[in-house]
Amino acid sequence: MVNPITRLLVTALLATATAACEAAGPGNFIGDARRGADLVKQYQCGGCHDIPGIAGAEGNVGPPLHRIGTRTYIAGYIHNSPDNMADWIEDPQRALPGNAMPRMGIPQKDARDIAAFLYTLK
């Protein structure tokens, strides 16, 4: 029989670990998906992209970002991984020179949080 205090501690630890994983994004990638959703609004990504879950994000200049977390490539060329997505968001011209997406001046931390959010779109 398990001690009730032990059961409570294990439950609390599991809940904390689960919450930390959700905030960290996919795998061992560090990024805050909730903050990323707010940053998508702040940087007005929806002016160019159709982004599910973001009110008013109905742009059609860039590709729609539906299910971006399950796609094989970013921009049809770069292997889709959380780190590559963050690099792409931070400086798309460095990642793939000459592509249509402009550099938006998004710092690395914000880019990682936006990437964590985009990986929730499956």
For residue range 80-111, list pLDDT tens digits in order: 999 999 999 999 999 999 999 999 999 999 99
Q: Can you give the pTM of this predicted structure?
A: 0.78
Interval 40-50: pLDDT, tens: 999 999 999 99
Residue 69 amino acid letter: G
